[in-house]
Amino acid sequence: MTSSLTRRVVLGGLAATGGSMALARAPETSIRPVPRDGVGLPPAPSAPAAARELVSPSEPLVQRAGLSGDVGFAVVDVKTGAVLETRLGSKPLPPASTLKTVTALYALDRLGPQYRFRTQVLVTAPVRNGRVDGDLILVGGGDPTLDTDGLADLAVLVREAGIHEVTGAFRVYAGALPRGDRIDSDQPEHVSYNPAYGGMNLNFNRVHFEWKRRQDSYEITMQARATRFRPSTSVASMSVVDRKTPVFDHWSNGSRDNWSVARFALGRDGARWLPVRYPALYAGDVFRTLARSNGLVLPPAKIAETLPPGTLVAEISSAPLKPMLQDMLKYSTNLTAEVSGLTASAAYSEVPSLDLSAWRMSVFARSRGAGAVKFFDHSGLNYDSGITPEGMTRLLAANAQLAPLLKSVNLSLAKSNPAPKGVAVHAKTGTLNFVSSLAGFIETQRGRTLAFAFLSADTAKRDAIPPAERERPPGVKAWGGRSRTLQKELIRGWAARYA
């Protein structure tokens, strides 16, 4: 007997203070201060000859902004493909999260807009009188949006399939995709936008840490929190310790995240999300709790390194890929980008690693006119990735169907300087330490569609950030603010000049 359910749930999340509920999303600021050496991938082919670069009419705006480092951009007429304006158009620069536009195109091309990720439950023996004399296996299909509520729905379907006893083991299979304990190895340990990834993901591979002051102590919870359900998990623990630094510390025994936090940093009540390094065991632990509430007692979860033959008894599906990618572009969710890219690469053939998958996406981008590119992930978290402003713009201009998936950009500079009427901008932002980017489409007052890419980076300042200051380095906020103002000024100028 097979039961199925289709759902579309984006996990709710909490801010770092106060414990109030909000959408769980990867922050637009993804911090990574130190570049790494190459990963041994084959070199990208040399870039095609770039368009002849003249002095940009926007140069006075760039000079007035006073941004240190490189400022590159390009503007292309979508209908004709003509390059209207460019500055450092042929220089590769870090795309940051604007790389997610390339990932969206790659995933849609390889998987199709209606592709759905599936999470299944198999049994290795027949169901007889509600009993399985064999194993029950939770099978991950990579769904990056699977949350605790979805697992609860799956547990209900197992109950409706008539299963109330399993005499064998409870296993979790996460081998549908390559697995890693974090997207980028040089990020601060505790940032939730750098979680593990693989074939079994839950709650964007984050655990909800909440603390409440009780006189001289704290009440601590570590929960797999979603909208309807918020069970505790034994795969992550937290202790409060008396120390000045670091604020968070993490260690592992190979199957559990052990965290500690400095007491002075907690204050009164609050909450934040922390990354999960063992998502398959995390999902298994949560599913076991939910199954128990449905009358099925399972032993502790074990990892299945290979998928044994079995009978499908329950299945849930994600939303179609297209709206999932729209959410990814809106909220900049790194896990969705990585899983979508990995799954797209697996459509070619087996993909053994994130690096190789990113290389395959580089090949895809080059074949679509992006020129010389190098990608090391699908989310833009890695500083070593690079694309030229002209390459990004040409790729977008050839795929204008991406525009409805992007966020609207407000061009207002101040109350006294509102956005120009009749101009619409849909784009993807990208922010790292001393890296700020924006790429997308402009609809002018007269109906002309322009594609553009703005990439700015001060790699010298980025590389000089000490490890202790990686999360909030001095000067980065002001630098990023100037870059974002320049982006709006440039777009307003382009919309008027090329209307």
At 35 the pLDDT is 33
Average confidence (pLDDT) over 369-397: 96
Average pLDDT score over the chain: 89
At 230 the pLDDT is 97
At 188 the pLDDT is 85
At 53 the pLDDT is 53
Which residues have CB under 8 Å from 430's CB, separation 6+? 28, 95, 96, 97, 98, 99, 380, 436, 437, 438, 439
| Weakest-pLDDT range from 12-26, 60-74, 181-195, 400-414 | 12-26
Q: CA angle 67-35-461, nearest 5°?
A: 30
Average confidence (pLDDT) over 423-437: 96
Q: What percent of the chain has pLDDT over 90?
A: 82
Scan for tokens 């890693």, then name that residue: 180
pLDDT class for 468, splitting at 50, 70, 90?
A: low
Q: Is the pLDDT of residue 108 over 60?
A: yes
At 238 the pLDDT is 97
pLDDT class for 420, splitting at 50, 70, 90?
A: very high
DSSP string across 168-199: S-EEEE-TTS--BS-S-TTS-TT-TTS--BSS
CB 308 within 8 A of CB 124: yes
Hey, how many other C-beta atoms are within 10 angstroms of the C-beta on 415? Answer: 6
CB 472 within 8 A of CB 478: no
Closest by CA to 413, choosing from 320, 481, 317, is 481
- State pLDDT tens for residues 330-373: 999 999 999 999 999 999 888 889 999 999 999 999 999 999 99
Q: Going from the N-terminus, what domains does the chain have, and what CATH number goes with each? A: 3-27+117-317 (3.50.80.20), 59-113+320-497 (3.40.710.10)
Closest by CA to 334, choosing from 114, 115, 99, is 99
- Which amino acid type is present at position 211? W
At 15 the pLDDT is 34
Closest by CA to 101, choosing from 318, 307, 398, 371, is 398
At 54 the pLDDT is 61
CB 436 within 8 A of CB 72: no
At 13 the pLDDT is 33
At 216 the pLDDT is 84
At 215 the pLDDT is 85
Which residues have CB under 8 Å from 97's CB, separation 6+? 28, 30, 332, 379, 380, 428, 429, 430, 431, 437
At 311 the pLDDT is 97
Average confidence (pLDDT) over 447-451: 97
Core vs surface per residue 451-467: b (16+ CB within 10 A) or e: bbbbbbbbeebbeebee
- State pLDDT tens for residues 24-75: 333 333 333 333 333 333 333 433 444 445 678 999 999 999 999 999 999 9
pLDDT class for 186, splitting at 50, 70, 90?
A: confident
**CA dist., res. 336 & res. 222, Å (int):** 23
- State pLDDT tens for residues 119-155: 999 999 999 999 999 999 999 999 999 999 999 999 9
**Which residues on neighbouring strands pair with residue 259, listed in sequence order?**
238, 250
DSSP letter at 219 equals E
At 465 the pLDDT is 86
pLDDT class for 444, splitting at 50, 70, 90?
A: very high
E strands, 88-194, in order: 118-123, 127-128, 131-132, 136-139, 165-166, 170-173
pLDDT higher for 167 or 468? 167
Q: Is the pLDDT of residue 6 over 70?
A: no
**Which residues on neighbouring strands pair with residue 258, listed in sequence order?**
237, 251
At 349 the pLDDT is 86
Q: Residue 265 burial (CB < 10 Å; 0-12/13-18/19+)?
A: middle
Ramachandran region, residue 211 (left: φ > 0; alpha: ψ -120 to 50; beta: rest): beta
- State pLDDT tens for residues 25-38: 333 333 333 333 33
Q: 476 phi and psi, to 5 degrees?
A: -70, -35
Structure tokens at 429: 């932002």
